[in-house]
Amino acid sequence: MMTGQPVAKDLRQRLPASLELTLTALVIALIAAVPLGVLAALRPNSLIDHGVRLFCSLGVCVPTFVSGLLLIYVFYYLLGLAPDPTGRLDIFASVPPARTGFLMVDFLLAGDFEGWWAAARQLMLPAFTMALFVIAPLARITRASMLVSLGSDFVRTARSIGLSRWQIVVTYALRNAILPVITIAGIVFSTMLGANVLVEKVFSWPGVASYALDALLVSDYAPVQGFVLLMASIFVVVNLLVDVLYGIADPRATVA
Protein backbone atom coordinates (compact mmCIF):
# COMPACT_ATOMS: atom_id res chain seq x y z
CA MET A 1 0.00 0.00 0.00
CA MET A 2 2.80 2.35 0.93
CA THR A 3 4.64 2.00 -2.29
CA GLY A 4 1.49 1.86 -4.33
CA GLN A 5 2.53 -1.53 -5.70
CA PRO A 6 1.16 -4.95 -4.88
CA VAL A 7 2.96 -6.57 -1.96
CA ALA A 8 4.17 -9.53 -3.97
CA LYS A 9 6.01 -7.31 -6.41
CA ASP A 10 7.69 -5.40 -3.63
CA LEU A 11 8.75 -8.56 -1.94
CA ARG A 12 10.17 -10.01 -5.12
CA GLN A 13 12.17 -6.85 -5.73
CA ARG A 14 13.66 -6.80 -2.30
CA LEU A 15 14.15 -10.52 -1.73
CA PRO A 16 17.59 -10.84 -3.38
CA ALA A 17 19.01 -8.25 -1.00
CA SER A 18 17.93 -10.26 2.05
CA LEU A 19 18.99 -13.56 0.57
CA GLU A 20 22.39 -12.27 -0.41
CA LEU A 21 22.93 -11.05 3.11
CA THR A 22 21.74 -14.24 4.80
CA LEU A 23 23.59 -16.63 2.53
CA THR A 24 26.85 -14.71 2.79
CA ALA A 25 26.50 -14.70 6.54
CA LEU A 26 25.85 -18.44 6.62
CA VAL A 27 28.89 -19.17 4.48
CA ILE A 28 31.10 -16.97 6.65
CA ALA A 29 29.74 -18.61 9.77
CA LEU A 30 30.33 -22.15 8.52
CA ILE A 31 33.85 -21.37 7.32
CA ALA A 32 34.68 -19.99 10.74
CA ALA A 33 32.73 -22.32 12.99
CA VAL A 34 33.49 -25.79 11.66
CA PRO A 35 37.30 -25.59 11.77
CA LEU A 36 37.11 -23.96 15.19
CA GLY A 37 34.88 -26.71 16.49
CA VAL A 38 37.06 -29.44 15.02
CA LEU A 39 40.26 -27.94 16.41
CA ALA A 40 38.72 -27.54 19.84
CA ALA A 41 37.63 -31.19 19.80
CA LEU A 42 41.05 -32.40 18.68
CA ARG A 43 42.77 -30.65 21.56
CA PRO A 44 40.45 -30.88 24.53
CA ASN A 45 41.24 -28.73 27.53
CA SER A 46 43.88 -26.82 25.63
CA LEU A 47 43.98 -23.08 25.24
CA ILE A 48 42.17 -23.22 21.96
CA ASP A 49 39.47 -25.44 23.43
CA HIS A 50 38.85 -23.10 26.33
CA GLY A 51 38.96 -20.16 23.95
CA VAL A 52 36.35 -21.67 21.66
CA ARG A 53 34.11 -22.62 24.56
CA LEU A 54 34.38 -19.16 26.04
CA PHE A 55 33.62 -17.60 22.69
CA CYS A 56 30.59 -19.84 22.29
CA SER A 57 29.26 -19.03 25.73
CA LEU A 58 29.58 -15.34 25.09
CA GLY A 59 28.51 -15.44 21.48
CA VAL A 60 24.98 -16.54 22.22
CA CYS A 61 24.57 -13.81 24.78
CA VAL A 62 25.15 -10.74 22.67
CA PRO A 63 22.09 -9.59 20.76
CA THR A 64 22.58 -9.05 17.05
CA PHE A 65 21.59 -5.43 17.10
CA VAL A 66 24.13 -4.63 19.79
CA SER A 67 26.96 -6.42 18.04
CA GLY A 68 26.04 -4.75 14.76
CA LEU A 69 26.11 -1.32 16.31
CA LEU A 70 29.37 -2.00 18.09
CA LEU A 71 30.93 -3.25 14.88
CA ILE A 72 29.87 -0.02 13.20
CA TYR A 73 31.43 1.92 16.04
CA VAL A 74 34.74 0.10 15.81
CA PHE A 75 35.12 -0.33 12.08
CA TYR A 76 33.44 2.80 10.81
CA TYR A 77 33.93 5.40 13.48
CA LEU A 78 37.15 4.35 15.14
CA LEU A 79 39.05 2.61 12.38
CA GLY A 80 37.42 4.10 9.31
CA LEU A 81 37.74 0.80 7.48
CA ALA A 82 34.10 0.22 6.75
CA PRO A 83 32.02 2.42 4.49
CA ASP A 84 29.00 4.35 5.67
CA PRO A 85 26.68 1.68 7.02
CA THR A 86 23.58 2.55 5.10
CA GLY A 87 22.29 0.36 2.37
CA ARG A 88 23.84 -1.94 -0.15
CA LEU A 89 25.62 0.56 -2.26
CA ASP A 90 26.87 4.09 -2.10
CA ILE A 91 24.18 6.38 -3.50
CA PHE A 92 26.55 7.74 -6.01
CA ALA A 93 27.58 4.38 -7.38
CA SER A 94 25.85 2.93 -10.40
CA VAL A 95 23.80 -0.19 -10.17
CA PRO A 96 24.67 -3.00 -12.59
CA PRO A 97 22.03 -4.47 -14.90
CA ALA A 98 19.84 -6.61 -12.69
CA ARG A 99 20.23 -10.21 -13.82
CA THR A 100 19.93 -12.13 -10.58
CA GLY A 101 19.39 -9.32 -8.16
CA PHE A 102 22.43 -10.46 -6.23
CA LEU A 103 24.80 -7.54 -6.45
CA MET A 104 27.87 -9.70 -5.99
CA VAL A 105 26.88 -11.84 -8.92
CA ASP A 106 25.59 -9.04 -11.14
CA PHE A 107 28.72 -6.98 -10.78
CA LEU A 108 30.85 -9.96 -11.71
CA LEU A 109 28.68 -10.73 -14.69
CA ALA A 110 28.97 -7.11 -15.84
CA GLY A 111 32.72 -7.25 -15.38
CA ASP A 112 32.62 -4.26 -13.08
CA PHE A 113 35.21 -5.04 -10.42
CA GLU A 114 35.22 -1.63 -8.86
CA GLY A 115 31.51 -1.84 -8.32
CA TRP A 116 31.88 -5.38 -7.04
CA TRP A 117 34.41 -4.30 -4.48
CA ALA A 118 32.20 -1.42 -3.35
CA ALA A 119 29.23 -3.69 -2.95
CA ALA A 120 31.36 -6.26 -1.12
CA ARG A 121 32.57 -3.66 1.34
CA GLN A 122 29.01 -2.65 2.09
CA LEU A 123 28.06 -6.29 2.56
CA MET A 124 30.87 -7.14 4.96
CA LEU A 125 29.70 -5.53 8.15
CA PRO A 126 26.07 -6.66 8.10
CA ALA A 127 27.08 -10.16 7.00
CA PHE A 128 29.63 -10.40 9.78
CA THR A 129 27.13 -9.18 12.33
CA MET A 130 24.72 -11.91 11.38
CA ALA A 131 27.47 -14.49 11.14
CA LEU A 132 28.69 -13.65 14.63
CA PHE A 133 25.35 -14.55 16.05
CA VAL A 134 25.38 -18.04 14.61
CA ILE A 135 29.06 -18.96 14.81
CA ALA A 136 28.60 -19.78 18.47
CA PRO A 137 25.93 -22.49 18.17
CA LEU A 138 27.57 -23.93 15.05
CA ALA A 139 30.99 -24.15 16.65
CA ARG A 140 29.50 -25.62 19.78
CA ILE A 141 27.63 -28.37 17.95
CA THR A 142 30.66 -29.12 15.78
CA ARG A 143 32.84 -29.45 18.84
CA ALA A 144 30.37 -31.60 20.74
CA SER A 145 29.65 -33.78 17.75
CA MET A 146 33.34 -34.19 16.98
CA LEU A 147 34.08 -35.16 20.57
CA VAL A 148 31.41 -37.86 20.46
CA SER A 149 32.71 -39.06 17.13
CA LEU A 150 36.32 -39.19 18.27
CA GLY A 151 35.38 -41.18 21.34
CA SER A 152 33.21 -43.66 19.52
CA ASP A 153 33.84 -47.35 19.01
CA PHE A 154 34.40 -47.16 15.28
CA VAL A 155 37.15 -44.57 15.65
CA ARG A 156 38.81 -46.93 18.10
CA THR A 157 38.56 -49.64 15.47
CA ALA A 158 40.10 -47.28 12.92
CA ARG A 159 42.99 -46.67 15.29
CA SER A 160 43.36 -50.37 15.91
CA ILE A 161 43.95 -51.05 12.22
CA GLY A 162 46.57 -48.34 11.94
CA LEU A 163 44.85 -45.82 9.68
CA SER A 164 46.62 -42.51 9.19
CA ARG A 165 45.68 -39.62 11.41
CA TRP A 166 44.15 -37.70 8.56
CA GLN A 167 41.95 -40.62 7.57
CA ILE A 168 40.79 -41.15 11.11
CA VAL A 169 39.98 -37.50 11.75
CA VAL A 170 38.44 -36.66 8.39
CA THR A 171 37.05 -39.81 6.78
CA TYR A 172 35.93 -41.52 9.94
CA ALA A 173 35.35 -38.94 12.63
CA LEU A 174 34.45 -35.75 10.78
CA ARG A 175 32.08 -37.26 8.26
CA ASN A 176 30.07 -38.74 11.06
CA ALA A 177 30.32 -35.61 13.16
CA ILE A 178 29.06 -33.36 10.39
CA LEU A 179 25.61 -34.97 10.36
CA PRO A 180 24.13 -33.14 13.34
CA VAL A 181 25.84 -29.98 12.12
CA ILE A 182 23.83 -30.14 8.91
CA THR A 183 20.62 -30.38 10.89
CA ILE A 184 21.60 -27.51 13.13
CA ALA A 185 22.63 -25.41 10.14
CA GLY A 186 19.08 -25.70 8.90
CA ILE A 187 17.70 -24.57 12.23
CA VAL A 188 20.25 -21.80 12.41
CA PHE A 189 19.13 -20.56 9.03
CA SER A 190 15.70 -20.04 10.48
CA THR A 191 17.13 -17.94 13.28
CA MET A 192 18.99 -15.92 10.71
CA LEU A 193 15.86 -15.17 8.78
CA GLY A 194 14.53 -13.70 11.97
CA ALA A 195 17.76 -11.89 12.74
CA ASN A 196 17.39 -10.36 9.30
CA VAL A 197 14.86 -7.97 10.77
CA LEU A 198 17.30 -6.57 13.28
CA VAL A 199 20.31 -6.41 11.02
CA GLU A 200 18.43 -4.80 8.17
CA LYS A 201 17.21 -2.16 10.57
CA VAL A 202 20.67 -1.41 11.96
CA PHE A 203 22.33 -1.19 8.56
CA SER A 204 19.35 0.17 6.63
CA TRP A 205 19.61 -2.77 4.31
CA PRO A 206 16.86 -2.68 1.68
CA GLY A 207 15.58 -6.17 2.17
CA VAL A 208 12.20 -7.78 2.74
CA ALA A 209 12.47 -7.58 6.51
CA SER A 210 12.93 -3.84 6.70
CA TYR A 211 10.14 -3.51 4.18
CA ALA A 212 7.79 -5.43 6.43
CA LEU A 213 9.00 -3.55 9.47
CA ASP A 214 8.38 -0.15 7.99
CA ALA A 215 4.92 -1.27 6.97
CA LEU A 216 4.28 -2.63 10.43
CA LEU A 217 5.07 0.59 12.15
CA VAL A 218 2.52 2.47 10.08
CA SER A 219 -0.05 -0.25 10.72
CA ASP A 220 -0.02 -1.48 7.13
CA TYR A 221 -0.46 -5.19 7.69
CA ALA A 222 -0.54 -6.63 4.18
CA PRO A 223 3.25 -6.48 3.73
CA VAL A 224 3.73 -8.01 7.16
CA GLN A 225 1.54 -10.98 6.31
CA GLY A 226 3.29 -11.38 2.99
CA PHE A 227 6.63 -11.25 4.73
CA VAL A 228 5.71 -13.86 7.32
CA LEU A 229 4.43 -16.22 4.65
CA LEU A 230 7.52 -15.65 2.56
CA MET A 231 9.79 -16.42 5.49
CA ALA A 232 7.88 -19.59 6.24
CA SER A 233 8.12 -20.76 2.64
CA ILE A 234 11.83 -20.08 2.48
CA PHE A 235 12.28 -22.01 5.67
CA VAL A 236 10.32 -24.97 4.36
CA VAL A 237 12.42 -25.02 1.20
CA VAL A 238 15.61 -24.84 3.22
CA ASN A 239 14.43 -27.65 5.49
CA LEU A 240 13.73 -29.82 2.48
CA LEU A 241 17.20 -29.10 1.19
CA VAL A 242 18.65 -30.02 4.55
CA ASP A 243 16.69 -33.28 4.59
CA VAL A 244 17.97 -34.13 1.14
CA LEU A 245 21.53 -33.26 2.10
CA TYR A 246 21.23 -35.33 5.25
CA GLY A 247 19.83 -38.24 3.31
CA ILE A 248 22.83 -38.12 0.99
CA ALA A 249 25.29 -37.87 3.84
CA ASP A 250 23.79 -40.53 6.07
CA PRO A 251 22.91 -43.84 4.44
CA ARG A 252 20.97 -44.89 7.49
CA ALA A 253 18.38 -42.16 6.99
CA THR A 254 15.30 -43.50 5.24
CA VAL A 255 12.90 -41.24 3.43
CA ALA A 256 9.64 -41.54 5.34
Is 94 within 8 Å of 44 (Cβ atoms)?
no
CA atoms of 174 and 248, how far apart (whole Å): 15
Is 159 within 8 Å of 187 (Cβ atoms)?
no
Torsion angle of alpha carbons 105, 106, 110, 113, nearest 10°?
Answer: -60
> Using CB under 8 A, which of 2, 35, 77, 244 touches another protein?
77
Does position 244 interact with another protein (CB under 8 A)? The reply is no
User: How far apart are CB 194 and another protein at their closest, in Å?
Assistant: 3
Amino acid (one-letter) located at 59: G
Q: Report the SS3 class of residue 159.
A: helix
Nearer to another protein, 86 or 100 (CB): 86
Does position 222 interact with another protein (CB under 8 A)? The reply is no
User: How far apart are CB 116 and another protein at their closest, in Å?
Assistant: 25
Does position 46 interact with another protein (CB under 8 A)? The reply is no
> Using CB under 8 A, which of 42, 69, 242, 245 touches another protein?
69
Is 7 within 8 Å of 223 (Cβ atoms)?
yes
Does position 201 interact with another protein (CB under 8 A)? The reply is yes
Q: For another protein, which stretch binds (CB under 8 A), given 4-12, 121-129, 137-145, 224-232?
A: 224-232
> Using CB under 8 A, which of 36, 158, 174, 181 touches another protein?
158
